[in-house]
């Protein structure tokens, strides 16, 4: 029995989206070449074709025919995908509390001084936006 499709990209689908968010449109061979450098295991050309076609069917990608090849581009925006996945994580793991998630991240992650400075700037900007 096949497992139900997730509304979010799988780990490999997310890796493919990262490649295409960085540069697109790309043919299969270029997607495979970019995945190869960061892959935990080598991917056959046919496996990449299969994944790209599944992602096209799921609505994650667009494709256009050029000569004998298809060029693939992301149909979904990075901000939308990450926002949905993060929202789901906040809801399921932290009871819907972004504060609980941020506190957990701050307590359990190694954050350098530059990152802390950026977080402070963001918090200050958000505070100013909320003032009447």
Which domains, ranges and CATH numbers included, belong to the chain? 11-74 (1.10.10.10), 78-130 (1.10.4040)
Cα separation, 67 vs 89, in Å, equals: 42
pLDDT, tens digit, 9 for 90 and up, residues 2-21: 555 667 899 999 999 999 99
pLDDT, tens digit, 9 for 90 and up, residues 58-95: 999 999 999 999 999 999 999 999 999 999 999 999 99
**CB-based burial, 34-53: b 16+ in 10 Å, e otherwise:** bbeeeeeeebeeeebeebbe
pLDDT, tens digit, 9 for 90 and up, residues 43-55: 899 999 999 999 9
């Amino acid at each position: 029995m096949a497992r139900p499709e997730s509304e979010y990209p799988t780990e490999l689908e997310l890796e493919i989206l990262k490649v295409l968010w960085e540069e697109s449109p790309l043919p299969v061979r270029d997607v495979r070449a970019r995945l190869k450098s960061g892959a935990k295991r080598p991917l056959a050309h046919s496996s990449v074709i299969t994944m790209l076609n599944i992602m096209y069917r799921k609505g994650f990608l667009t494709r256009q025919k050029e000569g004998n090849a298809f060029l693939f581009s992301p149909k979904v925006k990075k901000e939308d995908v990450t926002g949905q996945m993060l929202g789901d994580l906040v809801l399921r793991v932290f009871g819907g509390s972004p504060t609980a998630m941020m506190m957990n991240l701050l307590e359990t992650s190694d954050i350098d001084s530059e990152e802390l400075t950026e977080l402070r700037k963001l918090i200050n900007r958000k505070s100013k936006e909320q003032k009447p």
